Amino acid sequence: MPQLNETHDAQLRSWVESANQPDTDFPIQNLPFGVFRRRDSAESFRPGVAIGDQIVDLRALHAAKVFTGRAHDALAACNGKLPGLNELMAAGFEVWSALRLALSRGLREGSAQQSAIAKVLVPQADVEYTLPAQVGDYTDFYTSIHHATTIGKQFRPDNPLLPNYKWVPIGYHGRASSLGVSGQQFPRPVGQILPKGATEPQFSPCQRLDYETEMGIFIGPGNAQGTRIRLEDAESRIFGLCLLNDWSARDIQAWEYQPLGPFLSKSFATTLSPWIVTLEALEPFRTAWERPAGDPAPLPYLSSEQNRAEGALDVHLQTLITTQRSREANAAPALLAESNYRHAYWNAAQLVAHHTVNGCNLQAGDLFGTGTLSGPNADEAGSLLELSSGGQKPVALPWGEERTFLQDGDEIILRGWCEKEGFRRIGFGDSAGTVLPALLG
């Protein structure tokens, strides 16, 4: 497991001056990984690390032969045949940590490597991003008991939470092919919908389009089929976390989910932030994983003293919206809700342990979604389905519009950050996606 070390020191400053600004998501204490290329160029996508408003081009850094040892090996893994981070993810924690330490030392004020690294910086304003890894499999979970209970009350007022929820992490197999990074635009999905009071479905564009505020978990080294990853080893298999918007067609979902769960209501688009914040960078922001008094204790394979003591992560989450009208008026994005990942009923290590307990084999670059991360209060809801009480209570926007569900032209922006006294604030960047009109015919 990661531990606090010199890379977390709040007093560290970078010779990249923008990394020292108090409101940056990417100080030298963060160093998240992504995949980019210069906008409108013919160059290949390549791995990079964010520092302030710049990116360290890791392929160019490898060619410059600045680092040695494990850090050099890590850069070699960033220079493979795949454009993404899969080879680095597969290399394991010791290699990731060595590269993080070398980058931290090289980017600090007074570093003897400043001139060499400065030559491989690229302004973030000049780039475009792609998925940070080639995602072979994507599993979306359902880890917020507050979300599950609120939604359950809309459909089962007398029995909102199904009996297995407190015993087993619930998940379904998502669609990796429609994953995209911030800036993703997608047409409103079309499918079968059963109108209220009808006995037969109709084929129609979705009328109850929603977002879900989640986090994504990228897997590092996998496991052989037939083996399992134990809880105490699970975090060594997690490369890092990002923000994830699991767009949802609620009316298509209501008709199709019986009895096997989400299908076309989820597979049309999922939007990620382009940067993966490593678990090592998140180490200062661990917190106790807790359950309400009276809830059953997890089965032994999902429980340990260490996991209870520090298995949760204190990540603040914001969901914002812009509309066609607000952008034309140059209005600032409107805040819809705030929440926190620490409220999750199941934490990241438990998801890895449960996913593999039956012998399922994970692979480097696999992605988990946490499920909608709603908090205990009404204004901490992670979806419009909750905020609007299933469409019964429109949400007022500051420029005069209302929303029960998303309209064409709406953009949803997810933001996340960690802050704690004695440590530098670190962030995840934005996950922004926009709804386009449905494609008919």
* Residues 160 and 97 occupy one common structural domain: no
Residue 162, pLDDT score: 87
Kind of pairing between the strands at 184-187 and 426-436:
parallel
Q: Residue 17 is part of which domain span?
A: 6-130
Co-location of 245 and 185 in the same domain: yes
- Return the CATH number at 255: 3.90.850.10
299 and 379 both lie in a single domain = yes
144 and 123 in a single domain? The answer is no
Residue 147 among the catalytic residues: yes
Tell whether 261 and 352 lie within a shared domain: yes
Q: State the pTM of this model.
A: 0.97
DSSP 227-294: ----HHHHGGGEEEEEEEE--EEHHHHHHH-TTT--STTTTT-EEE-S-BEETTTTGGGEE-----TT
CA-only gyration radius of the chain, Å: 22
Query: How many residues in the chain?
Result: 441
Q: Does some domain include residue 1? A: no
With respect to residue 194, please indicate whether it lies within any of the assigned structural domains: yes
Among candidate residues 130, 153, 181, the one where a domain is terminated: 130
What is the count of structural domains for the chain? 2
Distance CA 97, CA 85 (A): 15
Q: Are residues 385 and 247 in the same domain?
A: yes
CA distance 110 to 298: 49
Q: Are residues 68 and 52 in the same domain?
A: yes
Please tell me whether residues 99 and 153 are part of one structural domain. no
Closest C-alpha among 45, 32, 43, 122 to residue 82: 45
The answer to whether the CB of 317 falls within 8 A of the CB of 373 is yes
Does residue 169 sit in the same domain as residue 121? no
- Residue among 36, 182, 181 nearest 120 (CA): 36
Last residue of a domain, one of 130, 165, 182: 130
Assign residue 432 a region (left: φ > 0; alpha: ψ between -120 and 50; beta: otherwise).
Answer: beta
Strands (E) across 8-117 are located at 33-38, 46-51, 54-57
Token readout for 269 is: 């688009």
For residue 272, what are its two tokens? 């990620």
> Cβ atoms within 10 A of the Cβ of 247, count?
25
CB within 8 Å of 369: residues ≥ 6 apart: 138, 139, 140, 141, 174, 214, 215, 216, 217, 244, 246, 270
CB atoms within 10 A of CB 110: 7
Residues contacting residue 167 through CB under 8 Å, at least 6 positions apart: 296, 298, 299
List of long-range contacts for 301-308, beta carbons under 8 Å, 24+ apart: 301/230, 301/231, 301/353, 301/354, 301/357, 302/169, 302/231, 302/346, 302/350, 302/353, 302/354, 303/231, 304/231, 304/232, 306/232, 307/231, 307/347, 307/349, 307/350
DSSP for residue 360 = P
Eight-class DSSP state of 391: T
Token pair belonging to 290: 């807790």
| 184 shares a domain with 79 | no
Residue 185 C-beta-side C-alpha neighbours within 13 Å: 7
How many Å apart are CA 395 and CA 180, to the nearest integer? Answer: 27
Same domain? 205 vs 60: no
* Domain endpoint, select from 104, 130, 156: 130
Same domain, 18 and 109: yes
* Site of tokens 């812009």: 322
* Phi–psi pair at 265, nearest 5 degrees: -70, -10
Per-residue pLDDT of the chain in tens (441 residues, 90 and over written 9): 679 999 999 999 999 999 999 999 999 999 999 999 999 999 999 999 999 999 999 999 999 999 999 999 999 999 877 779 999 999 999 999 999 999 999 999 999 999 999 999 999 999 999 999 999 999 999 999 999 999 888 878 888 888 899 999 999 999 999 999 999 999 999 999 999 999 999 999 999 999 999 999 999 999 999 999 999 999 999 999 999 999 999 999 999 998 898 999 999 999 999 999 999 999 999 999 999 999 999 999 999 999 999 999 999 999 999 999 999 999 999 999 999 999 999 999 999 999 999 999 999 999 999 999 999 999 999 999 999 999 999 999 999 999 999 999 999 999 999 999 999 999 999 999 999 999 987
Here the tokens at position 16 are 């990249």
**Separate counts of helices (H) and strands (E) for the chain:** 12, 26
Which ranges in 262-387 belong to alpha helices (H)? 305-310, 324-328, 348-356, 384-387
Instruction: With residue 320 as reference, give the H or E element that holds it.
Output: strand 316-322
Question: Which one of 8, 146, 147, 354 is the catalytic residue?
Answer: 147
